[in-house]
Amino acid sequence: MDDTTGSGQNRSKRNFLITAAVFIAALFYVRDGVFRALWFDEALTFMNFAALPGPAEIYHNYVIPNNHIIYTILLKYWAMLYQPVIAFDVHLRLLSVIFTLGAFALMIFRWKKQCGIMPVALICLCFAFSLPFAIYSVAVRGYMLSFLLVAAALELARLWMRGANWKNGTGYFIVSLLAVGTIPSNIIALGAVVLCFAGFPLKNRKFIARFAFLAIVPLIALLIFYFPIWNVVSSKILKLKEGWPDGVAAMIVIYSSWIISFLPAILAAILALPLLLGRKKYRMNMALAALVLLLPVPFFFVLSPAPFPRVFFALWPVWMYLLCRALGHLFAFARLKKYRIAAKPLLPLAIFAAAIFAWGMAQQEIKEDLSVKLVGTQALDDYFSPYYMKSYFNPFDVVKALQAQGETEFPKKVFLSFDADPYSIIFYGNMLGVPFDVWRFDGPRGRVSELDNNCRRAITAGEGDENKFRQRFKGKTLELLPTAESFQRTCIIKDNEDATPSGK
């Protein structure tokens, strides 16, 4: 066996071990999330959309953005594969786990050819140890599917620009169609993909044609997918006006979450900047990278209300790719005899990996403070520590307690406050055999105007929510039941004349 063969085998073994370590890290950080209770948006996604009779009904029922159409269709068929060897909600989460692992596989096996295995591994580890990964990697929503599709679009776009053929072009169109069909705002992430390749020599006619194809295809895909249901989109979706009241605050959240998640890799990439700026051929690419990173900024100032920060999560694979390219250049420079920083390549990898792991642990310690300081009362926390990830969010136990009290038996009713995440209670009630008619809650069909006499329990989200209940339903008051600390609090509904003093 010659030295070349031995070197190749050693490299293959090293790459295999590094890849295995990344996948093990990813699985380690999804293990708890898989068993997390479904929250409002997730329960609503399944009950109101995935449970519809078929794909046509899902497609035409695009009345609120919760219906991530392509994902919802896949979720429907995934649910049909359920076998009672695990809990049903765990089964639903495993679909996003598959998309997550697929995204890691795509990034590792495709990006390593451009950047090297070590930069890709470090970027993937940063992502796996980040707070947003814990939120989205198991979400019963279309975000990880979007992540995977945008990463696939990026790779197909690269192949198309380097050598146009009908397979790459067709694949790029299909992936773009699926991406915008999952979430229409993914068109922004596809725009970022296009910008990544604006550095090609566009004076050459063949590159102009290829680049024009890249730019036009996502727009055509968006038009094709939503034109048949445009009346619904224009009358429902575009009139919702949902988002954050403060665009600057929303922008701070999206960028701070990115910086915090990838801080070790960003600090390492900064080391490559002086080296890259010294080479003319890299300057254009760096300017385009800056443009891609700043792509969300105009939306926060132009749109009112500002978009939810989660809208831009689909940009993350593009940003990760750019960061990976920067690290790739750093490792390439480090291998030069002039620097000799990486004479033993596993040493810097081990150092970086240890730093990423330590920073991942630190993020867990500061996530509550991040949530309070960066999100506060603006809206739902999309990136740090949302309420549904806290230990006291357990709608399954709340429903079990109601059953034990005999409060879910006909003809009794239970009022669910909107702030108390009613759809999670309804979902787990359905899993436990509680009839849908038991629940009284505000929904698309209207608000609850008055409470039935046999409605003697209420699920609320805290003292402020209970005060709103008393103001809304005159003549009624609430007495909190002495139960374990929970986000969803169970109260006894009493008439004012029957009320007794209660603790908070």
**pLDDT tens-digit map of 103-126:** 999 999 999 988 889 899 999 999
**pLDDT, position 339:** 52
Rounded distance, CA 343 to CA 334, Å? Answer: 8
**pLDDT, position 423:** 96
Residue 251 is which amino acid?
M
**pLDDT, position 278:** 64
Sheet holding 455-460, edge to edge: 439-441, 413-416, 455-460, 489-495, 476-480
**pLDDT, position 378:** 64
Rounded distance, CA 450 to CA 442, Å? Answer: 11
Averaged pLDDT score across all residues of the chain: 89
Total Cβ atoms within 10 A of residue 321: 27
Once rounded to an integer, what is the mean pLDDT over residues 138-163? 96
At 412, phi and psi to the nearest 5? -70, 155
- CA-nearest of 452, 454, 458, 449 to 425 is 458
- CA-nearest of 485, 486, 415 to 456 is 415
User: pTM for the complete prediction?
Assistant: 0.93
**pLDDT, position 274:** 75
**pLDDT, position 1:** 42
Residue-wise pLDDT tens digits, 44-68 = 999 999 999 999 999 999 999 999 9
Contacts of 130 (CB under 8 A, 6+ apart): 260, 261, 262, 360, 363
Rounded distance, CA 375 to CA 382, Å? Answer: 9
Fill in the DSSP letter of residue 387. G
Judge whether 328 and 122 are in contact, CB under 8 Å: no
Rounded distance, CA 400 to CA 174, Å? Answer: 45
**pLDDT, position 133:** 97
Once rounded to an integer, what is the mean pLDDT over residues 141-169? 95
Residue 338's pLDDT band (boundaries 50, 70, 90)? Answer: low
Q: Return the H-helix or E-strand segment holding 33.
A: none
**pLDDT, position 412:** 93
Total Cβ atoms within 10 A of residue 348: 18
15: tokens are: 């790459």
Whether residue 203 is predicted with pLDDT greater than 70 in this model: the reply is: no
CA angle 219, 222, 223 (to 5 degrees): 90
306 forms beta bridges with 244
Residue 304's pLDDT band (boundaries 50, 70, 90)? Answer: confident
380: tokens are: 């739902």
Residue 446's pLDDT band (boundaries 50, 70, 90)? Answer: confident
Once rounded to an integer, what is the mean pLDDT over residues 327-355? 70
357: helix, coil or strand? helix
Q: Return the H-helix or E-strand segment holding 316.
A: helix 316-334
Contacts of 328 (CB under 8 A, 6+ apart): 114, 115, 116, 119
Rounded distance, CA 181 to CA 142, Å? Answer: 10
Rounded distance, CA 58 to CA 70, Å? Answer: 9
Residue positions counted in the chain: 504
Fill in the DSSP letter of residue 37. P
Residue 250's pLDDT band (boundaries 50, 70, 90)? Answer: very high
Rounded distance, CA 101 to CA 449, Å? Answer: 47
CA angle 293, 294, 296 (to 5 degrees): 105
Residue 347 is which amino acid?
L
Q: How many CA atoms lie within 13 A of 424 on its CB side?
A: 26
413 forms beta bridges with 455
Whether residue 503 is predicted with pLDDT greater than 60 in this model: the reply is: no
Once rounded to an integer, what is the mean pLDDT over residues 423-447? 91
